[in-house]
């Protein structure tokens, strides 16, 4: 049987630095757990534009369609701000999501006990937080037609269209219910059914899928604006939140900051199952390319490493090994190691990107 395949796209800014630490983890699993991966590497984002004149070469797109999973670092940088819209680094990432049909974006918001003081909320509100937001990723207002800036009478008008089909809603709802069955069996669906017809349809379809296929899972509904308020009031009331593209974008960023640092947060984007039964998948840290600290050894690699943990769990059916890696991260943080973004105490020196990666490897060794 061939090894599972993984395409690594480090990208721009701090992407190559954090991805180098993930490569250490991948190598550790090959050497210590007899879990070898067939790893290839390519370009995406600004570096791809520099090399090929496009943020994602067709050959790279073809590779992404063939592998078991894609792991991406970050894209973008100020030197690309004046490029045509279709050539900007971010378009490479959007093309991957769209052409791989990665319709379900999983954004966990987990607060490690050692970092509870870093949240802007009170410690008792966020300590032990573990919420999963499932965001629909390939439809809605970001993709609906008509869209654009038009002349209307004597002024300009900007138009974006919120559009969802029932099949698009149903498939992401199923993903959320399946996720809940692996967790605490509760789903809260968020929309704006009080003012948007697309929200009315969203609620109806989620209820239909629930009744027909997932009646064992507890389902509640909440307007998205009320959901934002409740996430900041008492986030631990939620288990899995499922929502559309626009509201998911906003709510997942809000939930991210409850944990204290974007440098801690992974994500997964999943599509339909391939012939081998695994979903098409792209894993990436939530943080951006952080060009202001690129090349300085200051970047936090944990979000990218935890993204690989998600790949172990959702693409490679290695939940126990994903738990091992997440526990290693928790151990290192409990021991007091901090990259620059996590410093909160005077007189505590930060560790570098590579030192944090080495400490996680040491914790993995200690877990055997």
List, by residue number, the catalytic residues.
Answer: 142, 192, 225, 249, 253
Nearest to 102 by CA among 110, 94, 114: 94
Measured CA to CA in angstroms, residue 40 lies from 7, 23, 36 at distances of 5, 11, 13
Please answer whether residues 79 and 46 qualify as being in contact, where contact means their C-beta atoms are separated by less than 8 angstroms. yes
Measured CA to CA in angstroms, residue 145 lies from 24, 84, 140, 328 at distances of 44, 21, 10, 46
Please answer whether residues 113 and 128 qualify as being in contact, where contact means their C-beta atoms are separated by less than 8 angstroms. yes
Please answer whether residues 35 and 368 qualify as being in contact, where contact means their C-beta atoms are separated by less than 8 angstroms. no
Instruction: Indicate the DSSP class of residue 52.
Output: H
d(C-alpha 301, C-alpha 30), whole Å: 20
Please answer whether residues 277 and 316 qualify as being in contact, where contact means their C-beta atoms are separated by less than 8 angstroms. no
d(C-alpha 92, C-alpha 266), whole Å: 19
H helices present in 129-240, as ranges: 166-181, 197-213, 224-233
- In which residue are the tokens 């006990």 written? 113
Q: Which two tokens stand for residue 144?
A: 């609906």
Q: What is the DSSP string of 24-46?
A: HHHHHHHHHSS---EEEE---TH
Residue 22 host element (H or E) = helix 15-32
- In which residue are the tokens 């199923």 written? 174
- In which residue are the tokens 């296929």 written? 213
Measured CA to CA in angstroms, residue 220 lies from 69, 108, 173, 210, 284 at distances of 32, 19, 13, 11, 29
Please answer whether residues 105 and 137 qualify as being in contact, where contact means their C-beta atoms are separated by less than 8 angstroms. yes
């Amino acid at each position: 049987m061939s090894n599972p395949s993984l395409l690594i796209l480090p990208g721009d800014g701090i992407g190559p630095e954090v991805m180098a630490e993930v490569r250490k983890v991948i190598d550790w699993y090959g050497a210590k757990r007899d879990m070898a991966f067939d790893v290839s590497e390519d370009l995406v984002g600004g570096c791809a534009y520099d090399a090929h004149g496009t943020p994602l070469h067709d050959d790279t797109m073809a590779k992404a369609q063939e592998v078991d999973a894609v792991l991406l670092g970050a894209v973008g940088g100020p030197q690309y701000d004046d490029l045509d819209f279709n050539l900007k680094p971010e378009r490479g990432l959007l093309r991957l999501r769209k052409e791989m049909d990665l319709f379900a974006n999983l954004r966990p918001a987990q607060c490690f006990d050692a970092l509870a003081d870093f949240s802007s909320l009170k410690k008792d509100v966020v300590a032990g937080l573990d919420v999963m937001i499932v965001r629909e990723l390939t439809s809605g207002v970001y993709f609906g037609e008509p869209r654009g800036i038009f002349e209307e009478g004597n002024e300009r008008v900007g138009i974006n269209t919120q559009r969802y089909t029932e099949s698009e809603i149903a498939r992401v709802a199923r993903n959320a219910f399946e996720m809940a069955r692996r967790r605490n069996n509760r789903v809260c669906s968020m929309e704006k059914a009080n003012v948007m017809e697309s929200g009315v349809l969203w609620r109806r379809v989620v209820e239909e899928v629930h009744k027909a296929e997932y009646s064992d899972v507890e389902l509640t509904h909440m307007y998205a604006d009320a959901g934002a308020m409740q996430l900041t009031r008492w986030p631990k009331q939620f288990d899995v939140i499922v929502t559309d593209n626009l509201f998911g974008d906003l709510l997942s960023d809000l939930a991210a900051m409850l944990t204290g640092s974007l440098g801690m947060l992974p994500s997964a984007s999943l599509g339909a199952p391939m012939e081998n039964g695994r979903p098409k998948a792209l894993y990436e840290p939530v943080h951006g390319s952080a060009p202001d600290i690129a090349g300085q050894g200051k970047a936090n690699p944990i979000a990218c490493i935890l993204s690989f943990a998600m790949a172990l769990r959702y693409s490679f059916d290695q939940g126990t090994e994903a738990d091992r890696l997440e526990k290693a991260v928790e151990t290192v943080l409990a021991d007091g190691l901090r990259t620059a973004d996590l410093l909160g105490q005077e007189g505590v020196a930060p560790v570098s990107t590579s030192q944090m990666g080495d400490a996680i490897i040491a914790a993995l060794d200690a877990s055997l």
